Amino acid sequence: MGAAKKIWNEMEVAAEARENGSTEFLSSPLIVDTSLSLPLMTPRVIALCKDLFKQWSKLDDSRFSVDTVSGGITNLLLKVTVKEESGNDVSVTVRLYGPNTDIVINRQRELQAIKYLSAAGFGAKLLAVFGNGMVQSFINARTLTPADMRNPKLAAEIAKQLRRFHQVEIPGSKEPQLWNDVSKFFEKASSLKFDEIEKQSMYETISFKEVQKEIVELKELAGHLNAPVVFSHNDLLSGNIMVNDEQEKLYLIDFEYGSYNYRGYDIGNHFSEYAGYDCDYSLYPNKDEQNHFFRHYLRPDKPEEVSDQDLEVLYVEANTFMLASHLFWALWALIQAKMSPIDFDYLGYFFLRYNEYKKQKEMCVSLAQSYLSRSGRGGHCC
């Protein structure tokens, strides 16, 4: 295998860029406390921007405005608008990493990939990194809602963009990360202890022996599908897709979970996000809606010429790996329930995802086994 190439962390990325005379990355050691209210956070964000961008360093604080873009369940996004000496208004996005998110997100992997994805035209341009976040160019677009993803025109565009995303080459190992990540999450999630009695009682109702059995069996079944491995987004929910309605331009953003992974996982995970934050899985796309997506993914130029055989392959892949998506985010939620200070019912989210996994398992496993049996590839497990 040879020596593993070291992947940089935030500060090392910036330092190397400066040494090479590159203006691609700026850096600051400053940290912005995410637990502060926006009024208390604002002067710190302004100080950070002045430290990073020298052309703003002597501007009066009154020229800066800081607004919340979104307060998700992982990061905090801020829009900083600056009235420059010229009178022009310039905006950037400051992304503050949620506390303890390094436990579930490989920041080194994200920074390695973001340069190549940005060069390929995906997401916002990375302008700078700092102690607990990054600054990116501001995208003038609205964030999609779960309902938007069902819109046939937008679904077709998402499919086309995702195909192009999957074609980006990122240097380094091409090993799919799904089962590695699930294994790491399982190890952490199965050995937690909560201070709150109620949380601990709920936690103790989980049979990790059963969860582990489900992981082993699903991994074996999915392995028979020989799904293509591509660089995947892995978190393509509505909040990570933006659209400029006037220009009809769609953006895939936020690559913090990005890695080489199975094509079917990325698509199946996307479909599971039709349910939205409310986890209304009755909104999961039906076969016709999925086929519409698959046609535009497989043949953006001539979607109607996709063969029934190619549709079936992707249908089986996506719906088998959708099960893996439920296991992945269920375990993720347990870790967040212990580590995250964000006010969100992560423990309840575990049960929502795991129960949906159990509800869909028989149908999806039967679908995969039937396909494998007809194609002579085995797969009689689960």
Q: Who's near 335: CB < 8 A, 6+ residues apart?
A: 103, 104, 185, 188, 189, 192
Q: What is the pTM of this model?
A: 0.87
* 151 exposure class (CB count in 10 Å sphere: 0-12, 13-18, 19+): middle
CATH superfamily label, 17-137: Phosphorylase Kinase; domain 1 (3.30.200.20)
Residue 377 has pLDDT above 70, yes or no: no
Which helix (H) or strand (E) covers residue 115, if one does? helix 107-119
What are the residue boundaries of the structural domains of the chain, listed by start? 17-137, 142-375
Taking only the tens place, the pLDDT of each residue in 70-125 is: 645 667 889 999 999 999 999 999 999 877 777 778 888 888 898 899 889 999 88
Q: How far apart are CA 295 and CA 272, in angstroms?
A: 19
**Which CATH fold topology does 142-375 show?**
Aminoglycoside 3'-phosphotransferase; Chain: A, domain 2 (3.90.1200)
Taking only the tens place, the pLDDT of each residue in 214-224 is: 999 999 999 99
The 10 Å Cβ neighbour count of residue 337 is 22
> What pLDDT was estimated at residue 99?
75
Residue 376 has pLDDT above 80, yes or no: no
The identity of residue 11, as a single letter, is M
Q: How far apart are CA 246 and CA 194, in angstroms?
A: 49
Give yes or no for a contact between 294 and 306, defined as CB atoms under 8 angstroms apart: yes
Taking only the tens place, the pLDDT of each residue in 290-342 is: 999 999 999 999 999 999 999 999 999 999 999 999 999 999 999 999 998 77
Taking only the tens place, the pLDDT of each residue in 192-209 is: 999 999 999 999 999 999
